[in-house]
Amino acid sequence: MNHKLKTVLFKTLTLLPNKVDDYFYHKIQSSFDKMTLEDRLKSVESTYLRLSKVLNKLNIDLKDKTIFEFGSGWFPAMPYFFKYKFEAKEVSTYDINKHFKKETVLKLNNLFCKRYGFSVIPSLSSKYRLPNGIEYFPDHNIITNDFPEIDVVFSRYVLSHMNENDVDVLHQKMKRELKKDTLVIHFISPSDLRQHNDSSLSPQDFLKYSKEEWNKIHTKYDYHNRLRLPQFLEIFKKYDYEIIHLDYESLNQETKKYDLFKKVKLHEDYKKYSDEELTAGNIFLILKV
């Protein structure tokens, strides 16, 4: 879908009453999303493999650890990898929205069992039929609620969808409330989401707008801050996190995406950053409190 048409559609949804707008949003997502459950699981598997490789290199073992995931998304794939592959003791996944559906979780249980050979037994006490050791907490704001006793905080492509100030407040809060040496693992995709549906756009197209202009374009359904890698690092360093791992991808010159990026007329706010800093994507960080 053309990004302009999608923006108009999302802005129309925001005019609807609460609950009604979410209902139609889910219907629209279901209609346009062509990814199968197998596709989604394979995508999350790539995150697991990338994380596993680095944890092994750093000699970090998550066995019997308690995991706190925020940004549950549409289905609990990563918690399954934590429970069955990493052998975590407990995985709690939190989201400000409510997206999980029992029928989807039951399909995932069977798919995960067949694909990876684990016996995934749904708990009868779980509303969503999640297995024992995995709990789902929707309608939960991590900014305004206390953290439980945990060993690891994990997010997968969530930080860029948070208000810039909330990203800062969250890391200040974690530094204050979490025990020393707690691990904080972030996967971050700081690119313009509109280009996922419109290949004519640069992944950095939104860097041409002022704050005021950008706030008029996006909605709660496609909200995306525009923090660049140096800005994320500045927040982490501000609260004295130890960065024990960092890797990312930058655009290669002489590629179509790089050509699109160079055509973007950067707003003054972003001219102080290098091309590498502006295009750094698929960021993977492990922090220590």
Domains and CATH numbers, the chain: 1-34 (no CATH), 36-288 (3.40.50.150)
Q: Are 286 and 54 in contact (CB under 8 A)?
A: yes
Rounded average pLDDT over 94-109: 94
Contact status, residue 125 vs residue 136, Cβ threshold 8 Å: no
Kind and range of the H or E element at 177? helix 164-177
pLDDT above 90 (res 262): yes
Complete DSSP assignment for 37-50: HHHHHHHHHHHHHH
pTM for this predicted structure = 0.89
- Give residue for tokens 């800005």: 231
- 264-272 mean pLDDT: 97
User: Please, are residues 175 and 145 in contact by the beta-carbon 8 Å criterion?
Assistant: no
Convert the pLDDT of each residue in 118-127 to its tens digit.
999 999 999 9
Alpha helices in 58-163 (DSSP H): 77-80, 102-116
Q: How many whole angstroms from its chain centre is CA 144?
A: 19
DSSP classification of residue 288: E
Task: Look at residue 34 in the predicted model and tell me its pLDDT.
Answer: 67
Q: Residue 196 is encoded by which pair of tokens?
A: 């996922």
Q: Which residue has the higher pLDDT, 191 or 35?
A: 191
